[in-house]
Amino acid sequence: MARKPKLRTNAPDALKAKVLDVASELFQSQGYHATGMADIVKGAGVTAGGLHHHFPTKKAIGLAVLRERVRPAVAQTWITPVALAKSAAEGVEAVFAAITAELDAKKAVRGCPLNNLTLELSLADPDFRAEMAKTFAQWETVLAQRIRADGLRDADSAAVLVIAAYSGAMAMAKAEQSSEPLKICGRRLTQMLRTAA
């Protein structure tokens, strides 16, 4: 039945990467349940069979997106910059500035990838929930370390507050389609970190 012996090159890593790129993009802009396998297939330019060979289920894709896209994204935009900053206050200020600048540049506020998936999936599946909890825990740990290094008391609770305020501000920003809540919270959080130091 070989009708069209279509040209092909085996590149499993590239295929996987493309699938995860497309899937994380779609999950971010539409949500997990609103995204169909067909959307991913079409967006990634892959066939259903090829996709199935690497990711047996949709859940496997979701988990991989969480581990290989969302978590690194949190590390890159939040954890590393704050850890390397001169002070926690300065780091938080820079992160909020970078994020609000990016939001203003685009047209739409699509929310924090971690929070989007957390609220949609953490109750639906224990594996998803474990993944998110782990990411949050890591985030808290590193941020608390940085705050403690500045000599602040209650570094742990401060870290939780910063992460919570950021997450919630992003949710409000998504609802209002404006970066204003983030700007406000960024300002108050850096001020809090500075005056306590």
Binding site for a copy of itself (CB under 8 A): 29-31, 33-34, 108, 110-111, 115-116, 118-120, 122-124, 129, 132-133, 136-137, 154, 156-158, 160-161, 163-169, 171-172, 174-177, 181, 184-185, 187-189, 192
Nearer to a copy of itself, 78 or 136 (CB): 136
Closest to a copy of itself by CB, 41 vs 109, is: 109
Q: How far is the C-alpha of 186 from the C-alpha of 173, rounded, in Å?
A: 13
For residue 139, CA distances in Å to 46, 86, 99, 100, 136 come to 34, 18, 17, 20, 5
b or e along 154-190 (b: 16 or more beta carbons within 10 Å of the residue's beta carbon)? ebeebbbebbebbbebbbbbbeeeebebbbebbeebb
Query: What x-and-dash track marks residues 17-56 binding DNA by CB under 7 A?
Result: ----------------x-xxxxx------xxxxx-xxx-x
Binding-site size for DNA (CB under 7 A) equals: 31
